[in-house]
Amino acid sequence: MNILICDGMHESGLALLRSTEGLKVDMPDQLNADEIKARLPDYDAIIVRSRTQVTADLLENAPRLKVIGRAGTGVDNIDVQSASARGILVMNTPGANAVAAAEHTLALMLSLARHIPQATQSMREGLWEKKAFMGTELYEQTLGIIGLGKIGSIVADRALGMKMNVLGYDPYIIPEAIAILGVESVSLEELLARSDFISLHTPSTSETRKILNRENLAATRPGVRIINCARGDLVDEEALYEFLVSGHVAGAALDVFAKEPPAGSPLLQLRNVIFTPHLGASSFQAQANVSRAIASQIADYLLYGIIRNAVNFPSLRPKDFERIKPYLTLAERLGSLQGQLCTPVQRIEITYSGSDFQDVPLQPLTQTVIKGLLDPILAEKVNLVNAPILLKERQIELFSTATTEARGYTGEITVRARGTRGESSVAGTVFQGEEIRLVRLNNYRLEAELEGVNLLVQNHDKPGTIGFIGTTLGNFQVNIANMHLSRTPERDRAIAIIRLDEEAPAEALDELRRHPNIISVQQVRL
């Protein structure tokens, strides 16, 4: 597996990748977009930081690419939607640089409060302006934090240690959880009105972009100070400039910008704004942590299929992955069986039954069923990432449920499909942690292996039918590996699931179908 590192990497992560058998790593000097595009066809993974823009145009030239690793948290430099449509996993490393980003926020807040960068520059110019740089204490000042994830929570903890009053706004965290942090949970409107300092710590989404716009800046208390170490587009920079010039906003500390670098930005001309060039994660410890984290995640995915910290696929803890690992194969083969039996499919219902599915994430299993369903019927590449997108494009309805109620097994997956030609139901389980079995096909109970080439022959339950099937296949030089039989309780119909060493020719299938006792013949490959 080939890995391209585009923006450099700390030696600890690089060493991990280079010492892992099965991985080949290239880390050239900084590449421009055209150079990256020219190299991409040869790579299975790329690792980037904030500099490289992974665009849809870039991804069009990456037929082998399986995963994009972002050594950091924000993924706004990656076209996640285009990556998902192409079945490419996108991973980041949330939390690995959280302490560094939080401490940088505090450093900027202290520098902003005491005018440290401006005073430093004044002294470089030979001046001694004690009165020009009168500061403000943080003690008992109110800090409003927008976004109380990992970084925001650390900022809150450190600010409380400095005896600040801390307000928090995060619509995705319940007030009780915010209260545990020692933070007062408030609405955005109240936070704006009460805060002396406002620090941003949310991801960039359609709801948060320009959350500090002209209207919200007008709602802040006079003399407020703004700190942004999160994403540049959280702030309307044009509006912020106006409020800084007017004095309503006393100062701002910016580590991130809507366009980086912010060449020509009028904010650069203001003495009440301090800047750093996107240094939030730039500590020796953070770079080592981030590089080791993304290196480990990329290696685990490429070599073992373990998914952690994916932004476009449900992540699995290693212990959860081990619990559902046997069922992933079962899920894919049940989906594949339905994709071949019930075509075209209009609706899929998946039921997870038994204690094996208690307290484990089921979405990876569901997406595996979808992948199995679509793989036999689509010419394009289908994988766990793009399978839900392809399903939606084809307007196939999806429903899934789970119950701890057992149906004779500690874990059973049932996949029901409805199409223009009728309905079909299949169910399977895993014996002894590794033996995958089909245990139900419509009204037939059985115990059949789910692999290789199989003939599904439904017939009237009359003597001589099985013998005819065996003789016919033999006449066409098709060898039978094994056979599983079942019949309805009424004993009027039966089914044979026959595993073959190779596919039976169309002529053999036609001859079987001509027999008066045979109702249907379908050949599937699992």
CA distance 490 to 439: 19
List, in order, residues 6 or more apart from 250 with CB less than 8 Å away.
223, 224, 225, 272
CA distance 479 to 508: 12
449: nearest Cα among 479, 416, 484: 484
CA distance 90 to 98: 19
Query: Is residue 499 flagged as an active site residue?
Result: no
Query: What tokens were used for 375?
Result: 């793989």
What size, in residues, is the chain?
Answer: 526
Query: Is residue 418 flagged as an active site residue?
Result: no
Helices (H) and strands (E) in the chain, counts: 17, 22
Burial (CB count <10 Å: 0-12, 13-18, 19+), residue 218: exposed
Which member of 10, 39, 104, 278 is catalytic?
A: 278
CB atoms within 10 A of CB 400: 15
Which member of 260, 397, 435, 502 is catalytic?
A: 260
CA distance 150 to 132: 37
Query: Is residue 231 flagged as an active site residue?
Result: yes
Alpha-carbon separation of residue 387 from 78, 103, 339 (angstroms) = 20, 40, 13
CA distance 363 to 462: 44
255: nearest Cα among 91, 109, 153: 109
Which member of 49, 231, 292, 499 is catalytic?
A: 231
Kindly list the catalytic residues: 231, 260, 278
